[in-house]
Amino acid sequence: MRSPISGYTRLTKVHKLSAAGVAAAGIAALAYAVVPAAAEGDQAAAVKPVAWNAAAFGETQQQELSKQTDAAAQKAKAQAEAKKKADAEAAAKAKADKERAEKEAASRSAERKPVEAAQAAPAAPAPKTYANNLDGWIRESLDIMKAKGIPGSYNGIYRNIMRESTGNPKAINLWDSNAAKGIPSKGLLQVIDPTFKAYHVEGTSWDIYDPVANITAACNYAAKVYGSMDNVNSAY
């Protein structure tokens, strides 16, 4: 039937149903023809993409795993190198600290030693000085006599000096019996040369006119003959 408006024939309900049935039957036939063909004759083609995809996936995973392993190895290596460097720096610092401490200890020890030595060893007494006069000569002679074990006192020595020479160290007797023999008495205690040489005391001068040497030799002679210069009251 042709439509009075569009000029086309209007399809009835029966016609529509028939057309739908034909279309459905054609689709079913097409599906039946395609599926068996894929199942029977093209099985290898259907499996091939699956096998290729699995290999590609495995290779990709292996590459990713290798990258991760390399990164982990590099990180571990960097950490090991950093630890090694830190250990070396710590060891060097410890060594430097130890050497510095040893130097400081040695320096302190060297500074203490002179002080400790000074404290341990008492300072040597300053040399005793004597006046260059009769008093000083007698006192120096007495110290030598004491060290040598020669008896005598200040008063005994002084008394005999004043009688023999009146304190003149250059006095010489040119008129007594000794002078007549060519061996005059000399010095503070008027000692002749043979007596001075025989009773000379070590550590004093060999000059018979030396005051200390003259006194000490005379006292040594008096100690042997009279027991002490204190026992001499006249020419001896």
Q: What is the pTM of this model?
A: 0.50
CATH classification for the domain delimited by 134-231, as one of 1.10.530.10, 1.10.490.10, 3.30.980.10, 3.30.70.250: 1.10.530.10
91: its two tokens = 């060891």
19: its two tokens = 């057309």
Report which of 193, 191, 194, 192 is spatially closest to residue 219, judged by C-alpha positions: 191
Give the pLDDT confidence of 138-177 residue by residue, as tens digits.
999 999 999 999 999 999 999 999 999 999 999 999 999 9
Give the pLDDT confidence of 37-85 residue by residue, as tens digits.
444 444 444 444 544 455 555 566 667 767 777 777 888 888 888 888 8
173: its two tokens = 């007797």
Q: Are 2 and 8 in contact (CB under 8 A)?
A: yes
187: its two tokens = 């010095």
Residue 226: exposure state from Cβ atoms within 10 A (0-12, 13-18, ≥19):
middle
11: its two tokens = 């399809």
Q: Where are the domains of the chain?
A: 134-231
| Residues forming beta bridges with residue 2, ordered by sequence position | 9
Give the pLDDT confidence of 10-38 residue by residue, as tens digits.
544 444 444 444 444 444 444 444 444 44
Helix H or strand E segment including 185: none
- Which 3 state secondary structure label does DSSP give 3? coil
> At residue 180, what is the residue type?
A
204: its two tokens = 């004093």
